[in-house]
Structure 1
């Protein structure tokens, strides 16, 4: 069986503007270049996966249903610009969670690589040929620990970074 490379993206402040535990559809806003980046990855035939810490669930700030509604809206907005998100994996845990069941440690809260491992198994992905992009060092570390090439996104233009990633890692046959 041939494993496929993929792009893993953090959600908050990488794809969408983070206003602090983002879950309200009315506040949905793309980060600069995010819509074009998603379309570029799709046009290049690279499957896109979102890996996101959603500790606001554990802290009781919003529900899993609220997050799922936000993700459904994100999927719809992505399709409307000609992109596609194959899957979204999230971690609801947080050190300050209101219930013991959602307190860390866990294997899925970045910088732990559990979300990437789970998606790789589910979708038959080659992590060594995949790329992780996020705005925090924990995103980069999770990607590196999973064996991916990782980029720290510095709030510039995500489309410019996407073009670099496509050219460097996917058009040249990967690593």
Structure 2
């Protein structure tokens, strides 16, 4: 495929502090270094795509409109920093949700690869030259199922996970560390 490479990013725990079902701008706080890391990834030629499970909708904790409003504010804020997200894809579903319209099994909720595959179609993304950064094993599962070869798991020191099921996946402490690793000559994007 001759598409563009992308970085697929989980939201809570990778871009912003995971405070549990964040759905209001007042509760949203970017993690240290995340904005600069996004800027550097964009400068390296990657499209930036957020893929996030937002089961708070299915759980009745917020509405889809709340999620969309937060994402609009997030995009506007990043735009002011010179960062353009190619897209934000979210899954409002959860099989055990309390809101019947959203209490379904779907193909978009990670670990399913639906959001990634949709983004790839809509933006002409070459998944074989892309990477994924998440903070849960379900993020890595979605990336692997979509055919993304470079997978990164953000973990806090002392909370490392067993990644033997994900050959080649790397544990990092932040999105900043992903950028540092990509800047090494042997890890540069193909064709750069």
Normalising by the residue count of structure 2, what TM-score does the alignment of the two structures yield? Answer: 0.84
Residues 173, 78 of structure 1: alpha-carbon distance in 2 compared, 3 angstrom cutoff: same
Q: Are residue 152 (structure 1) and residue 169 (structure 2) matched?
A: no
Distance in 2 separating the partners of 1:100 and 1:81? 39
Whether 1:25 and 2:7 are equivalent positions in the alignment is no
Q: Which residue of 2 aligns with 1:171?
A: 188
2:128 matches 1:128: yes
User: What is the DSSP-based 3-state SS (H/G/I as helix, E as strand, rest coil) of the residue aligned with 1:40?
Assistant: helix
Asked if 1:161 corresponds to 2:178, the answer is: yes
Please name the residue that 2:42 is paired with.
Answer: 42
Indicate conservation of the 8 Å contact 1:38/1:84, yes or no.
no
Aligned-residue offset at 1:33: 1.6
Deviation at 1:169, TM superposition (A): 8.0
Following TM superposition, by how much is the alpha carbon of 1:12 offset from its aligned partner in structure 2, in angstroms? 0.5
Report the counterpart of residue 93 of structure 1 in structure 2: 93
Shift of 1:170: 6.9
CA change 1:169–1:72 in 2 (3 A) is: farther
Residues 120 and 127 in structure 1, CA contact (< 8 A), matched pair in contact too: yes
1:101-160 Cα distance to aligned partner (Å, 9 max, x none): 312321000000010000111111111111010000000110011011211111433212
Aligned to 2:167: none
- Whether contact under 8 Å (2:58, 2:93) holds in the other structure is yes
CA distance in 2, matches of 1:166, 1:124: 24
TM-score when normalising by structure 1: 0.91
Pair 1:60–1:157, CA change in 2 (3 A)? same
Query: Which residue pairs with 2:162 in the alignment?
Result: none
Tell me if 1:80 matches 2:97.
no
Show structure 1 runs of 5+ residues with no match: none
- Taking only aligned residues, the RMSD between alpha carbons, in angstroms, comes to 1.8
Aligned to 1:61: 61
Could you tell me which runs of 5 or more consecutive residues in structure 2 were left unpaired when the two chains were aligned: 157-172
For 2:130 and 2:110, the matched residues in 1 are separated by 17
Match of 2:9? 9
Deviates more, 1:71-80 or 1:116-125: 71-80
Superposed structure 1 runs of 4+ greater than 2 Å apart: 165-172
